[in-house]
Amino acid sequence: MGDNLKFMLENNPESVFIGCEPYLNGIANLISKLHESDYDRIKIFNNDVRFLLDLVPNNFFSKIVVLFPDPWKKRRHKKRRIFNAKNISLFLHKLKKNGEIYFSTDIEDYFLEVISFFSARSTKFSIRNKKNFYKKPAFLYLTKYAIKAQQNGVSPKYLVVKKK
């Protein structure tokens, strides 16, 4: 719905952002919250992020933030997860050296799958928040999905990975 992107815009005045959202409701909600002064610092890509990644050069992003992506809980659907081995590799090619990926979910097996990917490649990446996966990075907004998870008695987990 754009709440996190708006929060980052307000708290990182020197940064430029690209938001990817395939759903018009999310885009409309974000646009309704923007100030005219935000327009030069934000671009909105109205499609799946994987299409955007095909368009940008390698080593382009300094941060990639993926919050509460669709977990595709059924076993036969897990290959559709945005954070799978193929897509994570694509994200990493587009990330600058020392760039960071931020991932959050309230689905335990999804989180463990992503942790396993990065742990197996520790020579290329370092997990920055190994001591506390429950602590939300300060620059992120508490999204409606994080709040919903907490209301259901589930603590969302956050992963911060740095490319070496």
Q: Annotated active-site positions, please?
A: 70
Buried-exposed string 84-121: b where 16+ CB fall within 10 A, e elsewhere:
beebbebbbebbeeebbbbbbbbbeebbebbbebbeee
Separation CA 158–CA 137 (nearest Å): 8
Taking a C-beta distance cutoff of 8 angstroms, is the pair 98, 133 a contact?
A: no
Taking a C-beta distance cutoff of 8 angstroms, is the pair 163, 91 a contact?
A: no
- Please state the separation of Cα 106 from the chain's center in Å: 13
